[in-house]
Amino acid sequence: MKVAPIHKAFQKYNSEVKHLICHTGQHYDKKMSKIFFEDLEMPRPDFYLGVGSGSHAEQTANVMIEFEKVLLAESPDLIIVVGDVNSTVACSLVAAKLNVKVAHVEAGLRSYDRTMPEEINRLLTDAISDYLFVSEKSGLTNLRNEGIKKDKIYFVGNVMIDSLVHYLSKAAESTVLEDYSLIPSKYILVTLHRPSNVDSGDFLNDLMQLFKDLSADRQIIFPVHPRTRKNMVEAGYSNSMNENIILTEPIGYIDFLALTKNAELIITDSGGIQEESTYLGVQCITVRNNTERPSTVELGTNQLIGTDLNKVEKCAMEILSGKIKKGKIPELWDGKTSERIAEILLNEN
């Protein structure tokens, strides 16, 4: 979702830039990967490292070993990394040690929670990057407070929104609501995948009870992440709890965008969905104690409730009874971020 619009933006400069895509294979679910590549109209990756699962150390190390081979063979002038996953920091470290410039898209986001692996990845990647492309104003403040030189920092907006804007019309043609017999603005969309939420059997049981309670008032559709699915099966939730709770396999980008746009409420622990719901003006409850995307709370429709599920249920019931949070779209979330990134990199190099 972040690489696709950047790749499209560079097509305008084909005579000047050779832009190649390396898929590390960190997100190793074949079904998820295939669906997203097709939906986002991305070409087959030029390099596929096939790293797969493993501990954080194993994954990071394996990406570094395989990505070093790519850099030594290709000798690029610059690499672009996105987000905050293990691949982000691993590729950045390899490039920095080979004196290859690094551009980090979505730089400067901070949860200030170092128990999150993503926070460590963000901090390290930003510290060694040459270009830091910031999606929201909190990122500017964070990077300046960390002593990053101003001439490395560029406030460009949010590439996730580029994909959203580009595919909204296609999402309007999706039949996903009809496929699951959902009524627009009368269902709850759920996504949960963070270890802190889904790896504890007790907490997972409490979540399932929350959804049973909410399903008395609304239909719930829950596309289940592979990690969450594994833990749910182990906890005995292999099938739906009742007819109002729809558990599905991972859903492709276009269909998921249609679900997001038409939901009455989203309950999530995802970073990207906080942003997408804010842009679309859809009510969102984030089941986390912190967020690296504060603009979605300060300006948008997101409410950071925490992991007290009694508070989550109370907030959800208030929203369903009409007590909604009004929001606005943050600055430069206009669908043109990737164009700005490409222009900056072309002008600087």
281 against 232, higher pLDDT? 281
For 168-320, give the CATH class: alpha beta
Report which of 154, 160, 157 is spatially closest to residue 129, judged by C-alpha positions: 154
Whole-number pLDDT of residue 29: 61
CA 309/CA 289 separation, integer angstroms: 12
Q: How much is the average pLDDT of 42-51?
A: 92
Question: Is position 193 annotated as part of the catalytic site?
Answer: yes
93 against 243, higher pLDDT? 93
CB 105 within 8 A of CB 125: no
Phi, psi of 239 (to 5 degrees): -125, 170
Query: Same topology for domains 3-157+333-348 and 168-320, yes or no?
Result: yes
- The secondary element (H helix, E strand) that includes residue 340 is helix 337-348
Among 19, 27, 193, 225, the active-site one is 193
Q: Residues of the chain with pLDDT > 90: what percent?
A: 81
Report which of 194, 183, 182, 228 is spatially closest to residue 208, judged by C-alpha positions: 228
Q: What confidence tier does 31 reach under pLDDT thresholds 50, 70, 90? A: low
CB 47 within 8 A of CB 70: yes
- pLDDT higher than 80, residue 68: yes
Q: Which of 40-44, 147-151, 261-265 comes out lowest in average pLDDT?
A: 40-44
CA 200/CA 262 separation, integer angstroms: 31
DSSP string, 191-243: E---HHHHS-HHHHHHHHHHHHHHTTTSEEEEEPPHHHHHHHHHTT-SS-SST
- Average pLDDT of the residues of the chain: 94
Domain boundaries, the chain: 3-157+333-348, 168-320
pTM beyond 0.85, yes or no:
yes
- pLDDT higher than 60, residue 28: no
CA 319/CA 214 separation, integer angstroms: 12
Torsion of CA 308, 114, 270, 217, to 10 degrees: 0
CB 82 within 8 A of CB 105: yes
CA 222/CA 233 separation, integer angstroms: 15
Q: How much is the average pLDDT of 128-154?
A: 98
Report which of 161, 171, 165 is spatially closest to residue 263, judged by C-alpha positions: 171
CB 333 within 8 A of CB 161: yes
* Burial degree of 324 (CB within 10 A; 0-12, 13-18, 19+): middle
3-157+333-348: CATH homologous superfamily?
A: Glycogen Phosphorylase B; (3.40.50.2000)
Q: How many residues does the chain have?
A: 349
* Burial degree of 123 (CB within 10 A; 0-12, 13-18, 19+): middle
241 against 165, higher pLDDT? 165
- What does the pLDDT look like over 169-209, one tens digit per residue? 999 999 999 999 999 999 999 999 888 888 888 898 899 99
Bridge-based pairing of strands 245-248 and 265-268 is: unpaired
327 against 234, higher pLDDT? 327
DSSP 115: T
Q: Which of 68-82, 187-201, 281-295 comes out lowest in average pLDDT?
A: 187-201
Q: What confidence tier does 32 reach under pLDDT thresholds 50, 70, 90? A: low
CA 283/CA 321 separation, integer angstroms: 12
